[in-house]
Amino acid sequence: MKLEFSPEKRFQQSFSNAKLDMVLTENSDETIRRALTGYEIGRKLKQLRLRKKIALVDLGKHTGLSASMLSQLENGKLIPTLPTLARIAMVFDVGVDHFFTDRRRKRTFALTRGAERIRFPERPDAPRPGYFFECLAFAAQEKTLQAYLAEFPKRDGDPPDEHFHEGAEFIHVLEGTLEVRYQDETHTLRAGDSVYFDSAEPHAYRGASKQPARAVVITTSAK
């Protein structure tokens, strides 16, 4: 039986093969350098030295290493041995683990274009959705908050459905009038008004103006 692979599967297989080839062809020094690069040992060494206001020559006298070698360590041109790191750590009164922890966190930057957003109803099966929403930061991964642009059509008659979720919620009304029901009380918000609340309590929304209300809604997860 002939098996067909999708372009994504073929790409993943090619990528895995490329990684295997790299491991087989690089020597041990290259492997060590690649493994240690992410720890930015040279940057941390330079930060310690500048914080203590010690010149390379003076640090060399304390550690028994040449200023040239220390400069190459700071610039990442040399891979330090464990005894070398131990000498440097003793001078600065830090543990060797200082060079292998607190790795610089990758900063998140995710741009979302207006034309890329998709409008969703409250629920796919809702005959009369209480609101529609667009995700404002869908491109970002591992977010600590969720941001939406929401639209609330005018609703009369049946009370809006309540819901709840862990964390907190913030609503800022951009246009129209929005009613927010929380702990058996109904609060009316107009353009420019905002509300922040514990979203673990049941709450509901209702558009209350002729033109649909529009608001920015931000939710956070529980700590």
Average pLDDT over residues 2-15: 40
Give the model confidence (pLDDT) of 33-88 as tens digits: 666 777 788 888 998 889 888 899 988 888 888 999 999 989 988 888 888 888 89
- How would you list the strands of the sheet with 213-220, edge to edge? 119-121, 132-135, 145-152, 213-220, 168-175, 194-198
pLDDT given at position 106: 63
pLDDT band at 103 (very low <50, low <70, confident <90, very high): low
pLDDT for the residue 37: 72
Query: Using CA atoms, how far apart are residues 35 and 22, in angstroms rounded to an integer?
Result: 13
pLDDT interval class at 95 (50, 70, 90): confident
Which of 222, 163, 214 is CA-nearest to residue 193?
214
State how far the Cα of 216 lies from the Cα of 147, in Å rounded to an integer. 7
Residue 216: name the closest of 191, 182, 185 by CA: 191
Report the 10 Å Cβ neighbour count for 175. 15
- Range 112-131 average pLDDT: 85
- At residue 125, the pLDDT reads 81
What's the CA gap between 49 and 74, in Å, rounded?
10
List the structure tokens of 40: 């930015």
pLDDT of residue 22: 41
Is the pTM here over 0.75, yes or no?
no
Domains of the chain, first to last = 12-99 (1.10.260.40), 114-220 (2.60.120.10)
- Paired strand residues for 150: 133, 215
pLDDT of 17: 43
Q: DSSP secondary structure string, 62-94?
A: HHT--HHHHHHHHTTSSPPPHHHHHHHHHHHT-
* Residue 34: per-residue pLDDT: 67
For residue 32, the model assigns a pLDDT of: 66
CB 196 within 8 A of CB 131: no
The Cα–Cα gap between 47 and 88 comes to 12
pLDDT, tens only, 9-40? 433 443 444 344 444 444 556 666 666 777 78
Whether the per-residue pLDDT at 221 is higher than 60: the answer is: yes
What mean pLDDT value characterizes the chain? 81
Residue pLDDT, tens place only, 107-121: 778 888 888 888 898
Q: How far apart are CA 171 and CA 127, in angstroms?
A: 25
Reported as a single tens digit per residue, the pLDDT across 158-205 is: 777 888 888 999 999 999 999 999 999 999 999 999 999 999 999 999
Q: What is the pLDDT of residues 135-165, one digit of tens each?
A: 998 888 778 899 999 999 998 877 778 888 8
Strand partners, 3: none
